[in-house]
C-alpha cells in the first residue's frame, strides 16, 4: 500500500497576543523585552482576593477579528475557568471561554491559483496567556545543567485570542497558506503584531491521516506551541510519515500531544491529551457575561477595510495570482496601488512595488512622474532611495533624461563595435547572448545615461 492511499487531515488552533496596552484582567503594561517580573500586580500574580476587570479593547479586537473571519458574534459570551496546575499559572486556572465563546462558527476564504478554498472556523475565543517558564538547564544557556526553572510573570495575563479551525486542511501546503493569510489578516486589522519569532503568534497543529474516501476522522496528534512556518510544515510532514508507517505496520494511533524537534525531524510524546473533562471548566464567578451591543458590533464591522484575501482575488485579475498573492502577503500591494492610481500600468507598478517597496506614500505622484519620464537608471534609483526618508520633487530628477537621440548614440555604438570586434563577430555568428555585453559597454561609455531600449535596437540594426 502506498502513501498516496492516505489523506492528511489538519486542523489548527492559532493563538495571537492582542496588541493592547495592558493585560487582559489588570492594568499591568504589556511591554515586550521589559525586565523579568517588572510588569506584575496582585491580580496577575493571583494574590488572594484580587479581582479581574476585563480589558474592553481586547474584547473589541476579538469581535473585529471574528467579523473578519465571518464568525457569528455572541450576544452572551461567558468567561470560564480552565483548571490545571503549572508553575506559570499562579491561580491554578486560566480564564478562558468554553461553551459560550465571543465568536462562534465562521468561514475563512483562501484564494488560490485555481479559485478558492474555504476553511471552517469552529470558534474564536478570548483568554489570558500563562506566564513564561524558562528551564534554566536548557535553551537559555544562562546556567546550563541547572536543575531549576525560572518564571517570568510579565507575560502572565496577556490577552490572547485563540482561533480554532475545522479539520478542513488537507496538506502542509494548505495549512501554510491558511496560516499566512490568517496572520496577514490579523496584522492588517491591527489587533496583533502576530510575530512568530517574538511568540505573539503560536499554533497548535492537529494532524491525523485516514484512507482516501474514509468517513470520519482517526485519532490525531497535537503538535504544541509551534512557532515557525517552516517547523509547522516539517512537523506536519513528520507526523503524517510516522502515522502512515504505524498504520501500515498494523499498529493503532493514540491521541496524544507531541513535541516536534527540528534538529532530529522527529516527534516525541509530550503527554497524553487531556479531555475537556480534565480541566473542570466552569463559568468564571468573578466576571459578568459579555453582551456586545449591536451598535458596537456595527461600528467594528465598519472599521474593517478590504481584507487581504479579497484584495488577492481582486488584484489577481490584473497581475495574475502569484504576483497578487506575493504583493498582498508582503504588505506591498498598497504601494503598487498608489503608483497605479498615478497612471502607472499595473504590471510595472507591481514590479516596482516588489523591488522598491520602501518609498513614502506621499512620494507616489512624484515617483510616477519620474517613472513615466524616461530618466536615467541612476536618476530613478536615486529618486527611490531618497523617497524612503524624505519628500521628493520630480523636477529634481526629470532633467536627467536618458539619451535616446540616435544621432548622439550612433557614434558611441560605432566606437564600441570597433573596440570589440570579437564580440561583434560572435553575435553575427548567431550567439545573441553577447548583446548584453555590448549594451553594457555603451551604457558605460555614456555613464549610464543612454536609454537601454534604444541602444538595444541600434546595436541589432548595426550588427545585421
Ligand atoms: Zn497585573
The Cα-based distances of 458 to 63, 377, 404, 411, 416 in angstroms read 63, 19, 10, 11, 12
How far does residue 27's CA lie from ligand 1's centre (Å)?
A: 6
Q: What is the pLDDT of residue 49?
A: 93
How far does residue 44's CA lie from ligand 1's centre (Å)?
A: 4
How far does residue 46's CA lie from ligand 1's centre (Å)?
A: 9
Q: What is the pLDDT of residue 2?
A: 55
How far does residue 160's CA lie from ligand 1's centre (Å)?
A: 15
Decide: 66 and 103 in contact? Cβ < 8 Å.
yes
pTM of the model: 0.83
How far does residue 16's CA lie from ligand 1's centre (Å)?
A: 19
Q: What is the pLDDT of residue 64?
A: 98
Decide: 119 and 165 in contact? Cβ < 8 Å.
yes
Taken in order 19, 23, 25, 27, the sign of the CA dihedral is negative
Distance between CA 289 and CA 387 in Å, rounded? 51
Distance between CA 238 and CA 88 in Å, rounded? 30
368 burial type by CB count under 10 A (0-12 exposed, 13-18 middle, 19+ buried): buried
Decide: 46 and 90 in contact? Cβ < 8 Å.
yes
How far does residue 411's CA lie from ligand 1's centre (Å)?
A: 77
Decide: 11 and 206 in contact? Cβ < 8 Å.
yes
Decide: 439 and 427 in contact? Cβ < 8 Å.
no
How far does residue 32's CA lie from ligand 1's centre (Å)?
A: 15
How far does residue 48's CA lie from ligand 1's centre (Å)?
A: 13
Q: What is the pLDDT of residue 141?
A: 46
435-445 and 406-419 helices cross at what angle (nearest 10)? 120
How far does residue 31's CA lie from ligand 1's centre (Å)?
A: 12
The Cα-based distances of 319 to 116, 208, 322, 325, 340 in angstroms read 17, 37, 8, 10, 12
How far does residue 23's CA lie from ligand 1's centre (Å)?
A: 7
Phi, psi for 88 (deg, rounded to 5): -90, 10
How far does residue 265's CA lie from ligand 1's centre (Å)?
A: 39
How far does residue 58's CA lie from ligand 1's centre (Å)?
A: 15
How far does residue 287's CA lie from ligand 1's centre (Å)?
A: 16
Q: What is the pLDDT of residue 380?
A: 87
Distance between CA 191 and CA 195 in Å, rounded? 12
Query: pLDDT tens-digit profile of 54-80?
Result: 999 999 999 999 999 999 999 999 999
Task: Give the residue ranges of the chain where pLDDT is below 50.
Answer: 1, 140-143
Q: What is the pLDDT of residue 273?
A: 53
How far does residue 54's CA lie from ligand 1's centre (Å)?
A: 12
Q: What is the pLDDT of residue 446?
A: 84
Distance between CA 71 and CA 66 in Å, rounded? 5
Name the nearest CA neighbour of 161 among 300, 17, 298, 41: 17
Return left, alpha or beta for 376; rule: phi > 0 is left, psi -120 to 50 is alpha, else beta: beta
Decide: 230 and 222 in contact? Cβ < 8 Å.
no
How far does residue 28's CA lie from ligand 1's centre (Å)?
A: 4
How far does residue 19's CA lie from ligand 1's centre (Å)?
A: 16
DSSP 53: -
The contacts of residue 118 (CB under 8 Å, 6+ apart) are 107, 108, 109, 110, 168
Strand order in the sheet with 159-165: 106-112, 115-128, 159-165, 6-17, 201-211, 221-226, 256-261, 266-272
Query: pLDDT tens-digit profile of 153-208?
Result: 999 999 999 999 999 999 999 999 999 999 999 999 999 999 999 999 999 999 99
Q: What is the pLDDT of residue 272?
A: 59
Amino acid at each position: 500500500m502506498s502513501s498516496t492511499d492516505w489523506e492528511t487531515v489538519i486542523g489548527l488552533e492559532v493563538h495571537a497576543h492582542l496588541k493592547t496596552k495592558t493585560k487582559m484582567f489588570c492594568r499591568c503594561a504589556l511591554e515586550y523585552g521589559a525586565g523579568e517580573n517588572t510588569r506584575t500586580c496582585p491580580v496577575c500574580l493571583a494574590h488572594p482576593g484580587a479581582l479581574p476587570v476585563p480589558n474592553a479593547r481586547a474584547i473589541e479586537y476579538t469581535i473585529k477579528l471574528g467579523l473578519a473571519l465571518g464568525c457569528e458574534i455572541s450576544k452572551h459570551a461567558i468567561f470560564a475557568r480552565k483548571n490545571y496546575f503549572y508553575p506559570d499559572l499562579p491561580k491554578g486556572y486560566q480564564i478562558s471561554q468554553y461553551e459560550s465563546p465571543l465568536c462562534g462558527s465562521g468561514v475563512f476564504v483562501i484564494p488560490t491559483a485555481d479559485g478558492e478554498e474555504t476553511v471552517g472556523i469552529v470558534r474564536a475565543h478570548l483568554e489570558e496567556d500563562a506566564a513564561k517558564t524558562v528551564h534554566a538547564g536548557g535553551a537559555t544557556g544562562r546556567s546550563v545543567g541547572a536543575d531549576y526553572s525560572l518564571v517570568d510573570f510579565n507575560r502572565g495575563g496577556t490577552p490572547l485570542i485563540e482561533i480554532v479551525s475545522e479539520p478542513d486542511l488537507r496538506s502542509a501546503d494548505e495549512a501554510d497558506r491558511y496560516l499566512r493569510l490568517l496572520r496577514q489578516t490579523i496584522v492588517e486589522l491591527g489587533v496583533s503584531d502576530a510575530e512568530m519569532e517574538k511568540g505573539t503568534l503560536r499554533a497548535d497543529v492537529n494532524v491525523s491521516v485516514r484512507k482516501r474516501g474514509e468517513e470520519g476522522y482517526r485519532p490525531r496528534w497535537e503538535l504544541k506551541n509551534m512557532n515557525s512556518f517552516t517547523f509547522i510544515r516539517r512537523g506536519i510532514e513528520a507526523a503524517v510519515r510516522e502515522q502512515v508507517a504505524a498504520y501500515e505496520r498494523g499498529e493503532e494511533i493514540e491521541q496524544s500531544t507531541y513535541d516536534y524537534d527540528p534538529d532530529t525531524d522527529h516527534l516525541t510524546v509530550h503527554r497524553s491529551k487531556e479531555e475537556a473533562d480534565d480541566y473542570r471548566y466552569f463559568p468564571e464567578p468573578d466576571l459578568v457575561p459579555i453582551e456586545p451591543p449591536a451598535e458596537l458590533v456595527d461600528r467594528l464591522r465598519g472599521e474593517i477595510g478590504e481584507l487581504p484575501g479579497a484584495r488577492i482575488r481582486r488584484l489577481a485579475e490584473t497581475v495574475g495570482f502569484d504576483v497578487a498573492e506575493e504583493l498582498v502577503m508582503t504588505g506591498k500591494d498598497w504601494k503598487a496601488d498608489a503608483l497605479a492610481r498615478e497612471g502607472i500600468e499595473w504590471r510595472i507598478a507591481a514590479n516596482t512595488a516588489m523591488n522598491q517597496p520602501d518609498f513614502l506614500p506621499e512620494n507616489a505622484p512624484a515617483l510616477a512622474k519620474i517613472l513615466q519620464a524616461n530618466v536615467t537608471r541612476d536618476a530613478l534609483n536615486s529618486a527611490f532611495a531618497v523617497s524612503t526618508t524624505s519628500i521628493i520633487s520630480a523636477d529634481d530628477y526629470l532633467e536627467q533624461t536618458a539619451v535616446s537621440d540616435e544621432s548622439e548614440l550612433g557614434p558611441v555604438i560605432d566606437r564600441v563595435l570597433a573596440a570589440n570586434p570579437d564580440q561583434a563577430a560572435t553575435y553575427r555568428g548567431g550567439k545573441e547572448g553577447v548583446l548584453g555585453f555590448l549594451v553594457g559597454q555603451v551604457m558605460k561609455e555614456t555613464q549610464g545615461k543612454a536609454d537601454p531600449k534604444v541602444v538595444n535596437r541600434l546595436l541589432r540594426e548595426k550588427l545585421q
